[in-house]
Amino acid sequence: MGVLAGGWIAQLVPGTSLIGGESAVVRIGAHVLSGELVVIVYTQGAAHPNNFYRTHVTNVDTGRPITLTTLFTDTRRGLEALSAQAALLVPKTRAGADYRMEAIAPEERNFENWLATPEGMRIVLGEIGPHALGKIEITVPWSELDSVLRPGMREVVGS
């Protein structure tokens, strides 16, 4: 068992070791705080370590987390909008066409790791293709999500 950044505790499987990790505040805006935690785990005998990504977005006015459920007026419609944008943006990344299509399906687990930036919703998709491609991220402009955001939310997340 090891302690990670922010007091998180990891139960490691025998034969694995925690070889690193990092956490970073990605954005502090007038109304929002976004951060990312990266955990790197190596399994004995494996060709490479595995990276795990988690993000957290907080509304600093309320002190509450902003999740996909609280971001969108209708979570299903929000996920569909994210999936459609991902289909346009992922091929423009180093992944090209070499990624798992199910990784951008309109399901909450595919888009739950995101960060609020002034430019838009930065989504950490992680390793959605061959390991050599590494972590794939896309940024969906807030203007592409205006029709599905809760009223007043763009002012918070875009600050």
Q: What is the pLDDT of residues 67-85, one digit of tens each?
A: 999 999 999 999 999 999 9
pTM summary value: 0.82
> Quick check: 93 pLDDT over 90?
yes
Q: Tell which wins on pLDDT, 57 or 127.
A: 57
> Quick check: 7 pLDDT over 50?
no
> Quick check: 149 pLDDT over 50?
yes
Range of the domain at 89: 2-157
Q: Classify each residue of 75-98 as buried b or exposed e, where b means 16 or more C-beta atoms within 10 Å of its C-beta.
A: beebbebbeebbeebbeeeebeee
pLDDT in tens, 108-137: 999 999 999 999 999 999 889 887 788 899
Residue 127, both tokens: 């390793």
CATH number at residue 152: 3.90.640.20
Count how many domains the chain has.
1
Q: CB–CB of 80/107 below 8 Å? A: no
49/47 Cα distance (integer angstroms): 7
Compute the residue count for the chain. 159
